[in-house]
Structure 1
Amino acid sequence: MSRTDDPDSEDKTTDTEKIAESNPIHWDEAPNNRKAPNERRTVSHSEEKDDAKKIVTGEAKYTADYAREFPDLAEAEVVRSDIAHGVVTDIDTSAAEAMDDVYAVVTPDSPEVPEKPYTSAGQSYPEPSPWDLRVLRRTVRFVGDPIAAVVAEDKDTASKAARKLDVTYDEYDAVFDTAEAMEPDAPQLHSADDVENLQPGADYERNIEAQMSGEIGDVDAAFSKAEESEDLTVIETEWETPYQSHCVPEPHTTIAHRDEDNRYHLISSTQVPYHTRRQLSHLFDVPIRDIQVSKPRIGAGFGSKQGMITEPLTMALTDAADRPVKVETTRREQFHALRNRRPARVELRSVVADDGELEAIDMEAVTNSGAYGPHGMTVASAVGKKPLPLYTHTPNIRYEMTAVHTNLPIAGAFRGYGAPQGHLAVEGHMDEIARELDIDPIDLRSRNVISEGDLEVASGILKDKEYGRRIRSCGLDECIAEGRAAIGWDDVDQPEADHLHRACGMALTIQGSGVPGEELGAAHIKMNEDASFILQTGAVDIGPGADTVMAQIAAEVLSVPPEDVLVQPSDTDISPFDHGAYASSTTYITGQAVKKAAEEARGMLFEFASRMLGEPESAFTVDDGAVISEITGESVSIEEIGYESMYGDEVRAQVMGDASHCTEESPPPFGAQFVDVTVNEETGEFEIHDMVYAVDCGVALNPALVEGQIEGAMHMSYELATGDGITFDEDGQPQTLGFRDYDMPTTADQPPLTSLIVETHEPTGPFGAKSVAEIPVNGVPPALSNAVRRAVGVRIGDMPITPEKIAAALDDD
């Protein structure tokens, strides 16, 4: 399915051999990790999501629901900048402070507000993102920058008091376009002296947050060769994506108070409790031991809660008001003042032989970080290094990224983490190659795409050292075949009307399973007398059902029903450490820690069974809630062991297990997205008949939850392809203030969805699993753009795809 490494480059071959030696195809997999489908008792079964009934009945408790536990709780209102760029010269707080039931008014000058710079990005230590934020800001850089806050008895009083603050600005010129922002005479957002930025390529005089490039082979030589050869073709394309909102059901909310030991306790809707604790400790100069972060149920995250957004201000306000404080953001703030998917512009050039084999890929991305830099470099890097591994055997690849500041809202982490922007460019470009060479788009991809056993090096293109990962599982062939059949690729019936044209488009997708070498998950499991288990992890279930899958993994090891494994919510005082919920890591990283911990507990079950039955520990296995001797057939129930372990006469020890997991591996899941569309050439209007997504996520540990992830991600991907995104006027004022202004498809708008699961086995994952949460968000924009191109011959490369753009392109054509 893919080519071998270029034999003409001795140096490259030598490098590849070195990388290959350290990434062998064989993986030393535990025998119990690979189970035939009929041997799986709990994994691969569609167990009901453990919190499903609580959510639909309203019994689930989110952060805001904990307010009732604090009788003296105060509420806060944040005052935000109403200009895009300038300096706050004065804040008159007297009128607000004179109001009844107002407990505190804080500004950047208040003693409770730290002066230190920090990053809100919830990333591993040390954070790669620049420290360029302040809790409250004197210099404002976008409409929505927080400049003050009011704490009062209730939200209504706080809001009224906030409106009484009289703010005076010295307004500066602003810039909203990344190309204009890099011009020498553009307004400058940051001074290098005020920012701690270790990222490469930063140039604040040109509003550049970070800039990197990397190369495999010799791209310039490949293009020079193409100029002299009739057998090589050069293809050039441009692509653009807009801002996109996470649209989380639960807005960002934090409750902060001091407990009876005068420690800070924050209850917060966060994806990263442990990162948040560490970063708050740095920001406030408070020992880590004096901060507790509790994560209750979260009403979705999608990356929006991978960082400290409401926590720092809430912590400052509880000191200022000397009582518990709740900060709950509004829907308007969610859209323009917090975090969004960053816009990107991508240019892509390629050299391709007449037979369709790729000779070179040259990709350049410019991303809009907005006013500050959380996740700026890492997302911009991912725009290239996420999709390029699909075509890792291209002998010459170059990628250059530039993250740029503008006076627009802050971009952050978002499901897919740069991959949707990159897939649009790469997979749209592949169809342009196929069109130019008159090759079927699927056949073109099959000649170049990665496959099982390959050594993938393109994801390391920006690293300063040799890098490669072995592909030990890849079901792309099957994904393509099943998606092709389901969409009817080879049997498209054209409408009878001459002005209607129907076609299918497709795109391949790839992601990762955690951040290689930079993740850590830990788990602790203990047994009760009745053979039920308490499982604690620091992982964060942000809605997809991670807790359910963790219970299934433990139950599979211990041979007990999943409902007998009770998973506790993450709390930094109680739970084992975990980096948090991001990078599609929970099942792959924390799931392995859970499996190891459960195996340790199972070992203790065998120790007690050995004493109780007088047989060696090696003789035992577990089955259906009992420990059974494979020699004599004698057995003892796990419940009997529970009572014996805690109350027996000889040895007493609680059955438990502890384990951690980290790895340099990050096996990619793979997928194929298909879209069937009819386009009206007279109006540009289009109808999508079906969207089919086939995914290889290794072994699907809970097929129903996997299908839920596919369908939810496809909906989000469809929104990126067709929605207007978040818009602003010429002064940077937000025009998208709520769901009524935001073009998110409703259930009535959503085209039919078909999800297909292709099973492979990933030897490095728990029971063969890889990730699935992010990869389906990558495919709809390129697949739909490709379908429209095949239907009526015009290319829409700047998202969203709209009837107006199609009609205009047809007129131009």
Structure 2
Amino acid sequence: MSRPNTPNENGRPDESTSADTAPHGAGDEQPRGRKPKDERESVSSRTEKSDARKIVTGEATYTADHAAAFPNLAEAAVVRSEIAHGVVTDIETSAAAEMDGVYAVITPDSPSVPDKPYTSAGQSYPEPSPLDLHVLRKRVRYVGDPIAAVAAEDAATARAAARQITVTYDEYDAVFDTETATDEAAPQIHDRDDIENPQPGAAYERNIEAHALGEIGDVDDAFEAAATRDDRTVVETEWETPYQSHCVPEPHTTIAHRDEDNRYHLVTSTQVPYHVRRQLAHLFDVPIRDVRVTKPQVGAGFGGKQSMVIEPITLALSLAADRPVKLEATRREEFHAMRLRRPSRIEVRSVVTDDGELDALDMSVVTNSGAYGPHGLTAAGAIGKKPLPLYTHTPNIRFEMDAVHTNLPIAGAMRGYGAPQGHFAVEGHMDEVARELEIDPIEFRARNYIGEGDLDIASGILKDGEYGRKIRSCGLEECIERGKTAIGWDEVDQPDAEHLHRGCGMALATQGSGIPGDELGAAHIKMNEDGSFILQTGAVDIGTGADTAMSQIAAEVLGTSPEDIVVQPSDTDISPFDYGAYASSTTYVTGQAVQKAALDAREQLFEFAAQLLDESVEKLVARDGAVSSKRTGESVTLEEIGYASIYGDEVRAQIMGEASHSTDESPPPFGAQFADITVDERTGEFEVHELAFAVDCGVAINPDLAEGQVTGAMHMSYELATGADLSFDDDGTPETLGFRHYGMPRTSDQPPLTPILVETHEPTGPFGAKSIAEIPTNAVPPALSNAIRRAVDVRISDLPITAGKIKTELDKQ
């Protein structure tokens, strides 16, 4: 067994812990509050999303809306590279600087612009990604690199001034695909000496940002044995996925200023306020205490706002202009100058017995990081580490990956974090194996997939040393059965027209719940005198309804209603620490911090109630906005307790609970995706009748919100399957400039989406919950490709799936 010392998703070598392998007994499970459905008051209720009404009425305030608080606000525009690779030899700014209404123009040499290298990746400390970015850049590596910026009295003036800035380049040869980039004769994009914190396996002379290899068993031996045996079959497949845009409704927006205490304050649309604060303090060489990051309403992030992209430019402009500055990305910038899902090329080989048991899996991945390296190693690693656990029983598994630089836009984090690319390859491959063996694809998977009680070692294939993740909850079997029923798997009727062919396809999916051993959530809750509560967490609600879920968890503990718990938005000056909204961690990690903080507050609540009721604490229960004696039935309202605790005659104390939570656990949710389609063999056009996803997310804290996550993620996954991709001309200039040029499915293109929640109980999660937000992004592409294969016997292995590709393959038959 070979497992190199390769960092996990946050860049640190992973080691197995007792939590990974030890049995999880009832003593661990009880504090999480397992409750039958009929005893749950707030948890599992379809509570209205707390911000829903203000969003649909337009009353929600996003970052740009906060501009009204700054009467002397300047607006900004960025000058970006027009070439894919080269060096800036001159920047002529005088014409822009002399324009009326222009307050500041900055370049890489401006005093307010830091020269330190940094990474934009919003991950843990120390940052696992290479420090290869500068705020403004003289060496440019893609069309879109920021070179200069302008602050002016309004956005129109700032953009006009930016157009007056003339940039002269010494242009270099560029490379736009990973195969050419790794050739020894290819132009070198980065100099190794200029990179701080290079990744394992980096070979910048061949434009390789990172390389990793892990193996369980002996894969080569399994393939060599298969070549000499009649009862073994070898199947090989290749897959390709494109760039995908986050398509956030709210573009990246930041307001930066110095407050009355001369501290740096940023109001910004981010998923990671605390990481942004730490990274800005490093960049601008100031104490962390002198940086404040406030997150207002966020108009979606999907991973794109896990990167610190425009905050440093905005702050540097604010310092140069000596006034508040707002920078709002244009839609064109969102499509090429922010962050994207990374393209990938994947090869999968397997050895399978005649009985349908997997003997070996060999997966090789090459990803396109683009010009810089945020999340390069970790997201590329997830392409294998996420789907392979589905088949962890396979005795011989190998995974190898390369993250490669090109002169194209920067890839970063995106919902699913590598898992959609990996599932497309693995689940498409599984269908090909089933066809080769002439076994039903569901039956074949059932002979091999993971189950409750199993020890998953495949997710640790890139870890150093022995590793095992105990699966304590798994509803895959029920997910499959309910998905089959919903889609009509066994009841497919062929159309009357001979040129139309109908078929159903399916794919399994899994994910994680936070990053094991590398997360931290904290919560503080205080009771008002009227029995209501103020809940503070550092978690970031990016439109998911996380604040609502947190209020439900707290309400379940405290015996009140979620409406009586006010959740405050993240503010690094006020909120407890939290790593941020990524890796499907909020409900599982921060939710447990909230549950523990509420339990802390409830203990204090019970102490005051015990005095008022003349009852022992052990006999009390919180329910329906009151604390009652289980012995006598007498009760006292939370309002009475609130006033007594604050204004009482004998003991006065505000009831406040607080807690932190970190864990080595990351229980996977499981799901089964089904697709029902009809293909026209004359044209290759296809109609998707329905997409159904059945998911085991443990106990759904709020079924409405969970179903909303499934529906939205399926839409994003369908976009990757049929519409995503960004095009560039021969010089690397982007041709996708807005929604009109991008293949996002419109309302008229969207098939019916059916979410199905399968309840299990995850004993390590708050009230049995695990994650839901990312897993539904993983499986539409393979399910749709598998459905087309079943309908017309052609395989589309490169995304997006189009009628033209189907027709081309049909013409080969």
> Which of the five TM-score ranges fits, normalised by the shorter chain?
over 0.9
Does 2:596 correspond to 1:596?
yes
User: Once the two structures are superposed, what CA deviation does each residue of 1:369-395 show, in whole Å capped at 9, x if it has no partner?
Assistant: 000000000000000000000000000
User: Once the two structures are superposed, what CA deviation does each residue of 1:512-535 show, in whole Å capped at 9, x if it has no partner?
Assistant: 000000000000000001110000
**Structure 1 99/120 Cα, relative in aligned 2: closer, same or farther at 3 Å?**
same
Residue number in structure 2 paired with 1:154 = 154
> Aligned to 1:72, what secondary structure does the other structure show?
coil
User: Once the two structures are superposed, what CA deviation does each residue of 1:680-724 show, in whole Å capped at 9, x if it has no partner?
Assistant: 111111111111110000001111111110110000000000014
**Structure 1 644/717 Cα, relative in aligned 2: closer, same or farther at 3 Å?**
same
Shift of 1:265: 0.4
Shift of 1:29: 1.2
User: Once the two structures are superposed, what CA deviation does each residue of 1:643-673 show, in whole Å capped at 9, x if it has no partner?
Assistant: 0100001000001100000100000000000
Q: Which moved more, 1:97-106 or 1:21-30?
A: 21-30
User: Once the two structures are superposed, what CA deviation does each residue of 1:45-64 show, in whole Å capped at 9, x if it has no partner?
Assistant: 11000001100111000000
Distance 1:97 1:634 in 2: 75
Residue number in structure 1 paired with 2:53 = 53
Q: Map of 1:608-687 to 2, 5 A cutoff? A: 608-687=608-687
Distance 1:204 1:226 in 2: 37
Shift of 1:19: 7.7
Distance 1:52 1:123 in 2: 29
> Aligned to 1:143, what secondary structure does the other structure show?
coil
Distance 2:46 2:629 in 1: 30
> Aligned to 1:379, what secondary structure does the other structure show?
helix
Gaps of 5+ in 2: 2-14
Residue number in structure 2 paired with 1:73 = 73
Q: Map of 1:571-590 to 2, 5 A cutoff? A: 571-590=571-590
User: Once the two structures are superposed, what CA deviation does each residue of 1:335-389 show, in whole Å capped at 9, x if it has no partner?
Assistant: 0111000000000000000111000000000000000000000000000000000
Q: Which amino acid aligns with 2:74?
A: A
Q: Which amino acid aligns with 2:227?
A: E
**Structure 1 719/122 Cα, relative in aligned 2: closer, same or farther at 3 Å?**
same
Residue number in structure 2 paired with 1:497 = 497
Q: Map of 1:276-425 to 2, 5 A cutoff? A: 276-425=276-425
> Aligned to 1:368, what secondary structure does the other structure show?
strand
User: Once the two structures are superposed, what CA deviation does each residue of 1:246-289 show, in whole Å capped at 9, x if it has no partner?
Assistant: 00000000000001100000000000000110011111101000
Distance 2:152 2:54 in 1: 32
Shift of 1:749: 0.4
Does 2:518 correspond to 1:518?
yes
Residue number in structure 2 paired with 1:13 = none
User: Once the two structures are superposed, what CA deviation does each residue of 1:421-472 show, in whole Å capped at 9, x if it has no partner?
Assistant: 0000000000000000000000000000000000001000001122111000
**Structure 1 330/216 Cα, relative in aligned 2: closer, same or farther at 3 Å?**
same
Q: Map of 1:229-308 to 2, 5 A cutoff? A: 229-308=229-308
- The sequence identity of aligned pairs, in percent, is 73
Does 2:714 correspond to 1:719?
no
Distance 1:23 1:247 in 2: 42
> Aligned to 1:573, what secondary structure does the other structure show?
coil
**Structure 1 346/258 Cα, relative in aligned 2: closer, same or farther at 3 Å?**
same
Distance 2:22 2:806 in 1: 47
Residue number in structure 2 paired with 1:752 = 752
Does the CA contact (< 8 Å) of 2:627 and 2:638 recur in 1? Answer: yes
Distance 1:25 1:640 in 2: 40
Per the normalisation by structure 1, the TM-score is: 0.97
Shift of 1:616: 1.7
Residue number in structure 1 paired with 2:426 = 426
**Structure 1 559/724 Cα, relative in aligned 2: closer, same or farther at 3 Å?**
closer
Q: Map of 1:85-104 to 2, 5 A cutoff? A: 85-104=85-104
Does the CA contact (< 8 Å) of 2:16 and 2:465 recur in 1? Answer: no
Distance 1:479 1:355 in 2: 24
Q: Map of 1:9-158 to 2, 5 A cutoff? A: 22-26=21-25, 28-30=28-30, 33-158=33-158
Shift of 1:24: 1.4
Shift of 1:21: 8.4
Distance 2:690 2:404 in 1: 37
Does the CA contact (< 8 Å) of 1:84 and 1:408 recur in 2? Answer: yes
Distance 2:383 2:202 in 1: 18
> Aligned to 1:472, what secondary structure does the other structure show?
coil
Residue number in structure 2 paired with 1:11 = none
Shift of 1:610: 1.7
Q: Which amino acid aligns with 2:254?
A: T
Residue number in structure 1 paired with 2:509 = 509
Shift of 1:497: 1.3
Distance 2:498 2:188 in 1: 54
> Aligned to 1:30, what secondary structure does the other structure show?
helix
Distance 1:772 1:371 in 2: 32
Distance 2:380 2:197 in 1: 16
Shift of 1:20: 9.4
Q: Which moved more, 1:494-503 or 1:286-295?
A: 494-503
Shift of 1:790: 0.8
User: Once the two structures are superposed, what CA deviation does each residue of 1:214-237 show, in whole Å capped at 9, x if it has no partner?
Assistant: 000000000000000000000000
Distance 1:519 1:781 in 2: 30
Distance 2:355 2:753 in 1: 34
Distance 1:199 1:144 in 2: 24
> Aligned to 1:678, what secondary structure does the other structure show?
strand
Distance 2:798 2:222 in 1: 28
Shift of 1:18: 10
Distance 1:641 1:26 in 2: 36
Does the CA contact (< 8 Å) of 1:20 and 1:455 recur in 2? Answer: no
Gaps of 5+ in 1: 6-15
Q: Which amino acid aligns with 1:419?
A: A
Distance 2:18 2:503 in 1: 42
> Aligned to 1:503, what secondary structure does the other structure show?
strand
Distance 1:623 1:114 in 2: 55
> Aligned to 1:383, what secondary structure does the other structure show?
helix
Does the CA contact (< 8 Å) of 1:20 and 1:468 recur in 2? Answer: no
Distance 2:148 2:555 in 1: 50
**Structure 1 674/204 Cα, relative in aligned 2: closer, same or farther at 3 Å?**
same
> Aligned to 2:443, what secondary structure does the other structure show?
helix
Does 2:800 correspond to 1:806?
no
> Aligned to 2:304, what secondary structure does the other structure show?
coil
Q: Map of 1:732-811 to 2, 5 A cutoff? A: 732-811=732-811
Residue number in structure 2 paired with 1:473 = 473
Distance 1:803 1:203 in 2: 39
Q: Which amino acid aligns with 1:23?
A: A
Distance 1:82 1:246 in 2: 23
**Structure 1 18/321 Cα, relative in aligned 2: closer, same or farther at 3 Å?**
closer
CA RMSD of aligned residues (A): 1.3
Shift of 1:811: 1.2
Distance 2:16 2:178 in 1: 41
Distance 1:764 1:577 in 2: 21
Does the CA contact (< 8 Å) of 1:19 and 1:467 recur in 2? Answer: no
Residue number in structure 1 paired with 2:9 = none
Shift of 1:30: 1.8
Does the CA contact (< 8 Å) of 2:20 and 2:664 recur in 1? Answer: no
> Aligned to 1:220, what secondary structure does the other structure show?
helix
Residue number in structure 1 paired with 2:7 = none
Q: Which amino acid aligns with 2:141?
A: R
Residue number in structure 1 paired with 2:569 = 569
Q: Which amino acid aligns with 1:706?
A: A
Count how many residue pairs are aligned between Structure 1 and Structure 2.
799
Does 2:173 correspond to 1:173?
yes
Does the CA contact (< 8 Å) of 1:44 and 1:703 recur in 2? Answer: yes
Distance 2:702 2:96 in 1: 53
> Aligned to 2:244, what secondary structure does the other structure show?
coil
Distance 2:812 2:730 in 1: 27
Q: Map of 1:202-241 to 2, 5 A cutoff? A: 202-241=202-241
Does the CA contact (< 8 Å) of 2:21 and 2:455 recur in 1? Answer: no
Does the CA contact (< 8 Å) of 2:17 and 2:664 recur in 1? Answer: no
Shift of 1:152: 0.6
> Aligned to 1:87, what secondary structure does the other structure show?
strand
